């Protein structure tokens, strides 16, 4: 089996290494080409942006020429100085002597021409149009056309300034400007054949400028687009190859796994038969251990009840001894009284003294018999409760106090006080035997583990009732426990005093009684030197347990 497994594993490993190498190579190629595809896409976007920006700059050049002509002719027609001012501002903005408005490529001067017209955009920085074109990467041929357009513009400007001089002279005359010969002369310059020819020459160079700029930017966009398409195709091919190799790798793994599964099924079938045989042995051993555990739990319960009997018997011994002594005294006094009566020596004083002795003795006998009766009553309640499993109504404080009274005789020499602070109004309907066993084990556990014999301390028992749930608190101010002990406190057979006869079942019995018999919960809080507190919560009226099969 192992030899077959090793051979199969060796073959699969070699094929897997080759496929993993191809997978890594394809993944690396796909990543590289994807990066180049993304970079080329960014370049394509940048080229498109440059083309659009170059178009806007070229459009500004054409518009500035048209706007200069418009302002010159409007000035000649109207004679209003603001149009001459607009003419000079357009020149200054184009040449960088004046701040260029933001969004200058949009409609701007048409918004200023009406009366009380306002600039639609705020001013930006001073930047000559030629400088912006250089920054946009315009070619030498494009700038050559720009210079030729500038030379043609000089001829146009000469005619425009002649017209401006005629307008100024006409405005200086007293006659109305619209009737002056200077106005007609100025308009003649601006609409002359020389002006129109110079204007056409400028626009022809601008048209050539458009063509060169469009060809340059289109070539840049096409080149970048072709590069992006190539990188995208290579990246896509790499991804397809990667997917094919992954599919092949998956099929190989599936085939190898199928072979492994077949081998494992054979091994599992063999081991299953072996495990079944072992399970049969373990089941038998567990049944023996469970029986032994149940016997130990019952022994622990009986030992607790036996300890209770021994303590009560020891405590009863003292009042019974006192009663016997008092009865003996009465017998002696009766004999003396009878003797005095027979001898006729009975006096009044002797009779009074004898009656006093009788009274004292009977009082002593009565008080000690009452003590015996109280102890027997407490023991009877606890013993009967622990021996029966029926649910019955009880007063929680009274039941707990009976348990404490029954176990205190054995621990009366301890300097530890047990205080029951339960409200007498708390009533519950539960299993009194289970409750008595829980309180007994927890209080005895506190005496044995929380305090040294000469140590003073307190054990407090309190309770609370809310929403149909009773919470019982049993706390002490003794030694406390470390974390390891606290976490294992409810485990069976765990004890810190095994060498002193401890079985480690007392707290396990408490846990089972609370969680199973009372359908509740129990927890423990403790720190070294800060005492211990057990908190248990159970229903005020739990559901009765189902009857067990008498088998």
Kindly list the domain boundaries of the chain, sorted by start residue: 40-236, 390-543
Please give the C-alpha separations between residue 284 and each of 32, 78, 244, 280, 291, in angstroms, as whole numbers.
67, 122, 57, 6, 11
Residue 293 has pLDDT above 70, yes or no: no
383 versus 151: the higher-pLDDT residue is 151
Task: Compute and round to an integer the Cα radius of gyration of the chain.
Answer: 58
Residue 546 has pLDDT above 60, yes or no: no
* Nearest-angstrom CA–CA distance, 406 and 312: 7
Residue 459 has pLDDT above 90, yes or no: yes
Confidence (pLDDT) at 438? 92
Q: Are 430 and 468 in contact (CB under 8 A)?
A: no
Confidence (pLDDT) at 528? 92
Confidence (pLDDT) at 534? 95
531: left (phi over 0), alpha (psi -120 to 50) or beta: left
- The stretch 107-128 carries a mean pLDDT of 84
| pTM, to two decimals | 0.37
- What contacts 453, CB < 8 A, 6 or more positions away? 413, 414
Confidence (pLDDT) at 292? 62
Three-state DSSP state, 458: strand
In the numeric block, the tokens 């496929």 are attached to 19
* Nearest-angstrom CA–CA distance, 344 and 70: 168
Confidence (pLDDT) at 136? 73
Three-state DSSP state, 27: helix
The architecture of the domain spanning 390-543 is 2-Layer Sandwich (3.30)
Q: Are 127 and 95 in contact (CB under 8 A)?
A: no
**Degrees, nearest 5: CA angle 463-464-465:** 135
- Of the candidates 193, 413, 388, the one whose C-alpha atom is nearest the C-alpha of residue 305 is 388
Going through 220-315 in order, the beta strands assigned E by DSSP cover: none
Three-state DSSP state, 525: strand
Confidence (pLDDT) at 270? 78
Per-residue pLDDT of 250-283, as tens digits, reads 787 777 677 767 766 776 777 787 788 878 887 8
* Nearest-angstrom CA–CA distance, 386 and 432: 7
Q: Are 89 and 113 in contact (CB under 8 A)?
A: no
Question: 57-61, 373-377, 470-474 — which is least confidently predicted?
Answer: 373-377
Confidence (pLDDT) at 471? 95
- What contacts 80, CB < 8 A, 6 or more positions away? 74
524 band by pLDDT with thresholds 50, 70 and 90? very high
Confidence (pLDDT) at 398? 92
- Of the candidates 305, 317, 311, 324, the one whose C-alpha atom is nearest the C-alpha of residue 371 is 317
* Nearest-angstrom CA–CA distance, 274 and 228: 66
Confidence (pLDDT) at 514? 92
Confidence (pLDDT) at 455? 85
Please give the C-alpha separations between residue 14 and each of 7, 11, 20, 241, 255, in angstroms, as whole numbers.
11, 5, 10, 20, 14
Confidence (pLDDT) at 313? 63
Q: Are 75 and 84 in contact (CB under 8 A)?
A: yes
Residue 523 has pLDDT above 90, yes or no: yes
394 versus 542: the higher-pLDDT residue is 394
In the numeric block, the tokens 């765990």 are attached to 494
Residue 349 has pLDDT above 80, yes or no: no
């Amino acid at each position: 089996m192992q030899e077959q497994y090793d051979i199969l594993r060796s073959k699969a490993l070699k094929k897997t290494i080759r496929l993993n190498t191809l997978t890594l190579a394809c993944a690396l190629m796909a990543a590289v080409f994807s990066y180049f595809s993304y970079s080329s896409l960014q370049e394509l976007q940048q080229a498109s942006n440059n083309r659009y920006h170059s178009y806007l700059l070229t459009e500004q050049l054409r518009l500035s020429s048209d706007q200069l002509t418009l302002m010159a002719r409007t000035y000649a027609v109207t004679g209003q100085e603001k149009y001459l001012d607009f003419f000079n501002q357009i020149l200054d903005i184009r040449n960088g002597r004046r701040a260029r408005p933001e969004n200058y490529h949009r409609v701007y001067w048409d918004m200023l021409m009406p009366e009380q017209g306002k600039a639609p955009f705020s001013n930006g920085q001073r930047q000559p149009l030629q400088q912006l074109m250089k920054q946009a990467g315009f070619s030498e041929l494009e700038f050559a056309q720009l210079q030729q357009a500038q030379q043609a513009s000089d001829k146009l400007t000469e005619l425009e300034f002649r017209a401006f001089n005629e307008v100024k002279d006409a405005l200086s005359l007293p006659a109305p400007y619209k009737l002056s010969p200077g106005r007609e002369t100025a308009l003649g310059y601006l609409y002359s054949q020389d002006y129109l020819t110079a204007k056409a020459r400028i626009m022809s160079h601008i048209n050539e400028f458009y063509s060169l700029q469009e060809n340059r930017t289109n070539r840049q966009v096409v080149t970048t687009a072709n590069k992006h398409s190539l990188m995208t195709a290579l990246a896509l091919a790499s991804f397809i190859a990667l997917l094919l190799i992954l599919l092949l790798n998956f099929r190989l793994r599936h085939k190898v796994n199928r072979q492994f599964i077949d081998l494992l099924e054979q091994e599992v079938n063999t081991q299953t038969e072996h495990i079944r045989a072992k399970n049969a042995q373990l089941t038998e051993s567990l049944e023996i251990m469970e029986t032994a555990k149940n016997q130990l739990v019952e022994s622990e319960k009986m030992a607790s009840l036996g300890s209770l009997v021994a303590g009560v018997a020891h405590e009863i011994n003292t009042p019974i001894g006192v009663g016997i002594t008092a009865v003996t005294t009465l017998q002696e006094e009766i004999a003396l009284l009878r003797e005095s009566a027979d001898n006729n020596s009975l006096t009044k004083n002797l009779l009074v003294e004898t009656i006093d002795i009788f009274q004292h003795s009977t009082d002593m006998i009565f008080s000690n018999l009452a003590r015996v009766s109280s102890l027997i009553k407490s023991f009877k309640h606890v013993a009967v409760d622990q021996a029966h499993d029926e649910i019955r109504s009880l007063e929680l404080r009274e039941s707990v106090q009976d348990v404490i009274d029954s176990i205190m005789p054995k621990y009366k020499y301890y300097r530890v006080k047990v205080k029951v602070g339960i409200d007498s109004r708390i009533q519950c309907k539960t299993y009194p035997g289970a409750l008595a066993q829980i309180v007994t084990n927890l209080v005895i556990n506190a005496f044995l583990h929380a305090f040294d014999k000469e140590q003073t301390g307190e054990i407090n028992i309190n309770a609370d009732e809310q929403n149909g749930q009773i919470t019982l608190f049993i706390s002490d101010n003794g030694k406390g426990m470390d974390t390891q002990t606290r976490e294992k406190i409810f485990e069976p057979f765990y004890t810190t005093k095994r060498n002193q006869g401890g079985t480690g079942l007392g707290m396990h019995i408490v846990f089972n009684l609370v969680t199973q018999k009372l359908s509740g919960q129990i927890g423990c809080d403790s720190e070294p030197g800060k005492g211990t507190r057990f908190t248990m919560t159970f229903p005020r009226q739990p559901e009765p347990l189902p009857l067990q099969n008498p088998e």
